[in-house]
Amino acid sequence: MRDGVVVKGVRFRDHRVVGDILELAQRYRDTGADELVFYDITASPSGRTLARDWIARIAAVLDIPFCVAGGIRSVADAEAALNAGAEKISVNTPALQRPELIDELARRFGSQCVVVGIDSQASTQGPHIWLNTGDPGHSRDSGRDTLEWVSEVQRRGAGEIVLNCMNVDGVRQGYDLPQLQAVRAVCQVPLIASGGAGAPEHFAAVFNEAQVDGALAASIFHSGELTIPDLKGYLSARGMEVRP
């Protein structure tokens, strides 16, 4: 939801912004989204709890699963989000800083609601994890091997992995199939592709060629360029099973 929420709304306490999120959430619910992810990159240590009242407001209207990502650094943070009605929580940077967080979350809530988000980019030594990706001026290669991290988070209890392929993000030229294929080969839990969707054929390609379990996209839907019913119709016409 970066384009729809984060760019606009630096403060979730702003009711207009919350209203926008609710409106968007309902629009996607009504048009057949199978799951929504809310990236709260504004979650700051102070006032985070207050800012989270939007989770309950979304839970009240959404009857499909949704995941909350951003600012979850502890079991208590996760519990607050889940108690407010989120189906899953997603961790990224805090898990890199303290991998035991994944074990703690999986033990407390079960793997099924523990999603690990990974920002990754191909390098000459294979895919590497990138840091500070929410801040273009400071994002950098961590030097860490993505495939090793994918294996580690699964051992620690991650129930789902969202791979955001940085080099294609926002470019709308299609998902990073080689990178997703490499991750798929070592990923036994559900894998969600993120970054690069620009046309219906990109979705067909990522399901068929990288065998991902789900495809995440934001800008192409937010802009209204592609609607979910049109996308599902396209995939269905190509023999792929989709929820109507």
Partner 1 sequence: MNPVDVVIVDSGGANLASLRYALDRLGARSEISSDAGVIRAAKRVLLPGVGAAHDAMARLERLQLVDCLRSLQQPLLGICLGMQLLYSHSAEGATDCLGVIAGNVQQLHAAPGRPVPHMGWNNCCPSGADALLQGVGASDYFYFVHSYAAPLTDATTALTEYGESFSAVVSQRNFHGVQFHPERSSAAGARVLANFLAL
Binding residues for partner 1, rule: CB under 8 A, are 29, 34, 56, 59-60, 63-65, 79, 82-87, 109-113, 159-160, 187-191, 211, 213-214, 243-244
CA–CA gap between residue 142 and residue 128 (Å, rounded)? 7
- Shortest reach from residue 8's CB to partner 1, in Å: 25
Residue whose CB is less far from partner 1, 88 or 202? 88
- Shortest reach from residue 108's CB to partner 1, in Å: 8
Residue whose CB is less far from partner 1, 54 or 109? 109
- Shortest reach from residue 31's CB to partner 1, in Å: 11
Residue 12's alpha-carbon distances to 17, 32, 41, in angstroms, are 6, 25, 10
In the chain, DSSP assigns E strands to 36-39, 66-69, 88-91, 114-123, 126-131, 140-145, 160-165, 191-194, 214-216
Residue whose CB is less far from partner 1, 84 or 122? 84
Closest CA to 39 of 182, 239, 233, 222: 222
- Shortest reach from residue 181's CB to partner 1, in Å: 13
Residue whose CB is less far from partner 1, 112 or 132? 112
